[in-house]
Copies of this chain bind each other. A is one copy, B any other.
Amino acid sequence: MIKAGIIGGTGYTGGELLRLLAIHPEVEVTAVSSRKEKGKKIHEIHPYLRGFYDTEFVEPKIEIFSECDVVFTAVPHGEAMRYVPDLYESGIRVIDLSADYRLSKERYEEVYGKKHEAYIGAVYGLTELHRKEIGRARLVANPGCYPTGAILAAAPLAELEIVERVVFDSKSGISGAGAAPTEFTHYPNLHEAIVPYKITAHRHYHEMEQELKKFQEDIRISFTPQVFPGSRGILTNAHVFLRGELDEGELRKIYGEFYRDCYFIRFQEGVRLSYVRGSNFVDISIHRGDDRAVIISAIDNLVKGASGQAVQNMNLMFGLDEMTGLDFPPLFP
C-alpha cells in the first residue's frame, strides 16, 4: 500500500482527494492536515465522508508526513512552497495542486506578483501530454482546472502547427471558487446568471501558453473564464482558426490518433458536463464550420481538473496503471 498524506484537507480539492483515495485499492491515507481545523474529525468538516475516515486533521508539520510515500499539497498558491521543498528533500514524492510549481520561476513571479523563495523544477502534470516524465518525477505540478480542459482541446492541432488563433471561452462550476463563502459564491449572485471574470487576464492563461507553445511557437491564444449556475464541471469551447483545409473527418482522425491509448479521453457527438460529473474523463466533441473548427471539452473541475488528475499522476509515479482507482463511471443525471 502507498502511504499518502494530504496537506490542506479541508477545501474542495482536499475533500475530493479523500473521496477518491477512499476507494483507491493501493493507497492508504495516513495523514491529513489542516491548520485551522486540526483536532477535528474529518467528517466534521466533510459530513458526506462520514464512515470513511476515522482520523483527525493534524498540524501541517513535515515530521508527521515523514512516513508518507507521497504527499498531496492542496493549499493556496504561495503556501505550497512552504512545504514542498522539505518534503522533496526528504525523498517523499510530491504532487502539488497549487500554482506554485506550474510555471518557470520568472513567469511565476511575474504572474503571481511575488518572489518564489523555494523554486524547484517540476514536471507539469497534464498526464496525457507528459506521461513519461511524470512516471519518473519526484515533484509534479498538477495543472490548473481551466488549462486542463483548454490545452487538451487544442494540443492535437498545435502539434501540427496549424493553429492561426484559438479563443478559449470556458464555463466553470462554482466549486472552482473554493469552499469559503464570498460575494462570488453567494447563491443569489450566481442564480440565473453566467458570470465572466478576469475576462482578459486570468492567470491560467500562462499555463495554456506555456504548454501549447511547446508544440507551436507562434500560436495565438485568447482566454475568457466564467462561472455558470452549477457546482462542478468546466466546459471549454475552443474556437480554432486553422491554417489549411481540414474537414471534420480529418480532424477526428487527428484527435483519435493523438489521444490513442488515453483511457480518460472520450469522443462524444455532443459533450455535456453531466456526462463526466464525478469522473476523471475528458469528453471531447469536434465540429467544423466554414470559418473555424470548434473543439469542445468537458471535464469535472474537481476530478480531472484537480484531484483526479493528481491521483492519475500518482499512479504513474508509483508504476501503477494510470486508471487505478479512477475507472468508475460518471454520475448522470
A245-296 CB contacts (< 8 Å) to partner B: 263, 266, 268-278, 281, 287-292, 294, 296
List the number of copies, as a whole number.
4
Distance of A139 from chain B, by nearest CB (Å): 28
Select which of B197, B222, B230, B235 is within 8 A of A291 by beta carbon: B222
A117: Cβ under 8 A from any B Cβ: no
Closest to A190 in B: B187
Contact B199 A294 (CB under 8 A): yes
* Interface membership of chain A positions 207-235, coded 1 if the CB is closer than 8 angstroms to chain B and 0 otherwise: 00000000000001110101011111101
Residues of B near A15 (CB, < 8 A) are 332
> B289 contacts A191, CB within 8 Å?
no
Would you call B192 and A186 a contact (CB within 8 A)?
Answer: no
Query: When chains A and B are docked, how far (Å) is the Cα of A180 from the Cα of B270?
Result: 19
Are the CB atoms of B277 and A192 closer together than 8 Å? yes
Known: A174-B188, A188-B174, A222-B239. A278 touches B331 (CB 8 A): yes
User: Chain A interface (Cβ within 8 Å of chain B)?
Assistant: 12, 15, 18-19, 22-23, 46-52, 165, 167, 169, 171, 173-175, 179-183, 185-197, 199-201, 220-222, 224, 226, 228-233, 235, 237, 239, 241, 263, 266, 268-278, 281, 287-292, 294, 296, 327-333
Known: A188-B332, A200-B288. 13 other contacts (CB 8 A): A19-B332, A48-B272, A165-B241, A169-B169, A171-B228, A175-B333, A180-B186, A181-B181, A194-B233, A199-B289, A200-B291, A226-B237, A239-B239
13 A-B pairs in the complex with CB atoms less than 8 angstroms apart = A19-B329, A48-B277, A165-B241, A173-B192, A181-B185, A185-B187, A191-B333, A192-B273, A192-B277, A196-B294, A197-B270, A199-B296, A224-B237
